[in-house]
Amino acid sequence: MVDSAEYVIRCNLPPLTNGYEKHVGVKTDLVSANPSILSQKYGSLLGARRKFMEKLCQYGNSMLLLPAFSYVGNIAVCMRAFHTIKDFGSPMQPIYFSPDYLKNLDSFWRTQGWKAVRLTTGMMLTSMALELCDNVHLYGFWPFNLHPHTFEELTNHYYDDKRPKGGFHAMPEEFKLLLKLHSQGVLKLHLGNCKPN
């Protein structure tokens, strides 16, 4: 289903190979790279950068969204990602959110009842998609660690159980907003099972 979409946006450099492709597809038009991932998994791109570039190869010539200007502390690592892409001659095109856009997005969602310190990347990308696309389908936005029907334990992502840093995001609160949009027909939340082999 994902690969049949006209435009596919993925959050935070998720894996698409090693069996995952049959569950999540491989088509990618835009993928985001959270600065915390660049720091934790790729040493802030201060040393060897090949592992980062090998990861990006999964996404072909898609655009890479770097939130360089969301916080001052993100600028340096995002600029290193930009220069790495250029130095390796990657076909990927780095793009950035405008700081004004992010500020307005934060203000808008606060008028809708959102109260956390900051929006998740998923919520930022969902907001962008709602502005640009006629039909928005979301996969992987279930924020709870139990299955809604079987009460089976679930991991945070389909590929790992890395939890967000406490105190910044309010995933259940964001999900409530997304569920409201789903109920209103603004977007479609897909909450079916996805179990990698």
Please write down the long-range contacts of 43-48, taking CB distance under 8 Å and 24 or more positions apart.
Answer: 44/76, 44/77, 44/80, 45/77, 45/80, 45/81, 45/84, 46/80
> Which alpha helices (DSSP H) does 25-170 contain, by range?
35-42, 50-56, 75-87, 99-111, 121-132
Catalytically annotated residues = 169
What's the token pair of residue 43? 């040493």
Closest residue by Cα to residue 38 from 10, 70, 66: 66
